[in-house]
Amino acid sequence: MITPTKHGDITKNALVVAAEVIKLLKKDDYNIDELHKVLAKKKEISLYLYNDVLLFLYLVDAIELVQDKVILIEKKDENVLN
């Protein structure tokens, strides 16, 4: 799912699509269906890939779902000294 191969289309790789999701969510919050429609127009991704990408981003604690909205979790850099 995650590791690209030389035989696969890199634009439809889960990591590339996840980066696109993060880019979109930095601008605005979307509900689950709206986000899929926007991505499907740009990348022509399947619903299965979309679900895999959302699951991956949720598992790495990059997004959360609040009342059917996909929200990007902003993380503070804990390694920066004040």
Both tokens assigned to 24 = 């979109």
What percentage of the chain exceeds 90 in pLDDT?
Answer: 60
In a domain, 79, yes or no: no
In a domain, 51, yes or no: yes
CB neighbours of 72 closer than 8 A, spacing ≥ 6?
Answer: 22, 25, 26, 29, 62, 63
Which of the four pLDDT bands, split at 50, 70 and 90, describes residue 58? Answer: very high
14-38: average pLDDT = 93
User: How does the average pLDDT of the chain come out, rounded?
Assistant: 86
Tell me the β-bridge partners of 63: 72
Q: Whole-model pTM?
A: 0.81
Check which CATH number belongs to the domain holding 37 and give it. 1.10.10
pLDDT for residue 2: 62
Q: Which domain holds residue 42?
A: 10-72
In a domain, 3, yes or no: no
Report how far residue 72's alpha carbon sits from residue 75's, in angstroms, rounded to the nearest whole number. 9
12-34: average pLDDT = 92
